């Protein structure tokens, strides 16, 4: 037994993997295909302002996602910032405390104040009960987030927003390909913002898109993004530069071609992990909101120290030493992060579920570069560590 414990890299053994397994998707097209599309860009000597590849991409995205408008932007963060201005929001916007920092920062950049909301313990999604209790006359919108690519409770958020006469929009950065009921994420609320960052299933070497069915809102978004020639001017408070380049469009078109293969792999990877991890005491995979379907691009679970024997941070250290680049995700919550902890100290003790999940949640590698046997090896390591948890805990105390 102690033999096996000593073979852990953190306790002096060799790492299980001789290359570092990345945690994000990092899906790449073939070099020959990229080269071909780049020839076109160089031949045209045109790489910006809504070129032919961007136009083609926006058209394909809108059809794929089933929305009237898919407006490509520099990245999803810029998309969220532009969205807040285009929606003419005032005062405060409700946002979950358990999300990537860009969700709240986009609100601050637009001159608005985030109101931090807790999440549901079972699903990790924005707590609809807590949302309703936070609405007052200064709140002008709700931002839902589809965390882990799992859609949040779109039906309930829509009902609450309707009762109070305020809009809902979504940070759908992680949810390309996810759906709710019979509709893909992209078509819900006033608008949804999807990311094409390297760690996401669709990737354009930085990029994102803002999706909406509302023609007037789309015209404002286009004008604020500032794509000359891509629509008539409409009144807006100010423009920015959220333009999407032809280089990004070339990458995104190839990524879209690959999407169904990458999506299928994510599905297989996720279920392979789930089948193995669900049997280990103390590990828990978050539930889906009823009626939703996830793109399963994030392999995320909770580590309960009491059942598993080690806490999330100890397990993360052990796996890192094995060259498995897992990570504790979203820690601390936004309400306890810079600068929000100082700006809005009133939320400090108001988000107990977020605080708890920030100690427990971790993400494991998936995506193109992770094979089935990698997953089997990672899961059997996690199981072995659980079996020898008391001894490992003792040894870690002494290192």
Ligand X SMILES: *Cc1c(COP(=O)(O)O)cnc(C)c1O
Q: Applying CB under 6 A, which residues contact ligand X?
A: 75-77, 99-100, 102-103, 145, 171, 173-174, 195, 197, 208
User: Shortest distance, CB of residue 247 to ligand X, whole angstroms?
Assistant: 16
Phi, psi (rounded to 5 degrees) for 288: -90, 150
> CA of 352: how far to CAs of 54, 340, 356, in Å?
43, 16, 6
User: Shortest distance, CB of residue 96 to ligand X, whole angstroms?
Assistant: 10
Q: Which contacts qualify for 106-114: CB closer than 8 Å, 24 or more apart?
A: 106/77, 106/80, 106/81, 107/143, 109/81, 109/84, 110/81, 110/84, 110/85, 112/84, 112/140, 113/138, 113/344, 114/334, 114/340, 114/344
User: Shortest distance, CB of residue 97 to ligand X, whole angstroms?
Assistant: 13
Q: Which is nearer to ligand X, 174 or 223 (CB)?
A: 174
User: Shortest distance, CB of residue 172 to ligand X, whole angstroms?
Assistant: 8
Q: Which is nearer to ligand X, 87 or 145 (CB)?
A: 145
Q: Which is nearer to ligand X, 106 or 223 (CB)?
A: 106
Q: Which is nearer to ligand X, 24 or 51 (CB)?
A: 24
User: Shortest distance, CB of residue 94 to ligand X, whole angstroms?
Assistant: 15
> What CA–CA distance (Å, rounded) separates 154 from 282?
30
User: Shortest distance, CB of residue 310 to ligand X, whole angstroms?
Assistant: 27
Q: Which residues of 135-168 are buried (b: 16+ CB within 10 A; e: fewer)?
A: beeebbbbbbbbbbbbbbbbbbbeebbeeeebbb
Q: Which is nearer to ligand X, 174 or 295 (CB)?
A: 174
User: Shortest distance, CB of residue 22 to ligand X, whole angstroms?
Assistant: 15
Q: Which is nearer to ligand X, 8 or 126 (CB)?
A: 126
Contact, 222 vs 212, CB < 8 A?
A: no
User: Shortest distance, CB of residue 103 to ligand X, whole angstroms?
Assistant: 5
Q: Which is nearer to ligand X, 77 or 331 (CB)?
A: 77
Q: Which is nearer to ligand X, 106 or 314 (CB)?
A: 106
Q: Which residues of 328-341 are buried (b: 16+ CB within 10 A; e: fewer)?
A: bbbbebbbbeeebe
Of the chain, the end-to-end C-alpha distance in Å amounts to 19
């Amino acid at each position: 037994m102690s033999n096996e414990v000593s073979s852990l890299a953190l306790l002096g053994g060799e790492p299980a993997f001789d290359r570092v397994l990345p945690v994000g998707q990092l899906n790449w097209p073939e070099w020959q295909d990229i080269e071909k599309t780049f020839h076109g860009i160089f031949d045209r000597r045109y790489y910006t302002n809504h070129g032919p590849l961007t136009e083609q991409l926006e058209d394909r995205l809108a059809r794929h996602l089933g929305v009237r408008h898919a407006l490509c932007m520099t990245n999803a963060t810029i998309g969220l910032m532009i969205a807040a201005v285009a929606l003419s929001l005032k005062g405060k916007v409700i946002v979950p405390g358990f999300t990537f920092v860009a969700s709240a920062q986009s609100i601050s950049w637009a001159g608005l104040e985030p109101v931090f909301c807790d999440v549901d313990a079972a699903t990790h999604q924005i707590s609809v009960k807590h949302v309703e209790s936070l609405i007052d006359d200064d709140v002008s919108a709700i931002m839902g987030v589809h965390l882990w690519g799992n859609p949040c409770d779109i039906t309930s958020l829509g009902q609450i927003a309707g009762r109070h006469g305020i809009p809902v929009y979504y940070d759908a950065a992680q949810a390309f390909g996810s759906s709710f009921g019979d509709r893909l994420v992209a078509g819900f609320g006033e608008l949804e913002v999807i990311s094409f960052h390297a760690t996401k299933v669709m990737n354009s070497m930085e990029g994102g898109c803002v999706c909406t069915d509302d023609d007037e809102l789309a015209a404002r978004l286009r004008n604020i993004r500032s794509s000359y020639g891509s629509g008539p001017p409409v009144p807006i408070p100010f423009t920015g530069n959220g333009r999407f380049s032809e280089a990004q469009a070339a990458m995104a078109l190839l990524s879209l071609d690959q999407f169904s293969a990458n999506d299928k792999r994510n599905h297989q990877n996720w279920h392979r992990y789930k089948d193995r991890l669900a049997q280990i005491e103390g590990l828990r995979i978050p539930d889906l909101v009823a009626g939703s379907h996830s793109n399963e691009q994030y392999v995320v679970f909770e580590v309960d120290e009491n059942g598993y024997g080690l806490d999330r941070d100890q397990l993360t250290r052990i796996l890192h030493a094995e060259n498995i680049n897992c990570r504790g995700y979203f820690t601390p919550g936004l309400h306890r992060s810079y600068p929000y902890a100082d700006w809005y100290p009133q939320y400090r003790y108001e988000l107990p579920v977020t605080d708890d999940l920030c100690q427990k949640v971790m993400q494991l590698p998936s995506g193109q570069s992770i094979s089935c046997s990698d997953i089997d090896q990672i899961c059997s390591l996690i199981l072995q560590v659980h079996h020898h948890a008391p001894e490992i805990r003792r040894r870690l105390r002494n290192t």
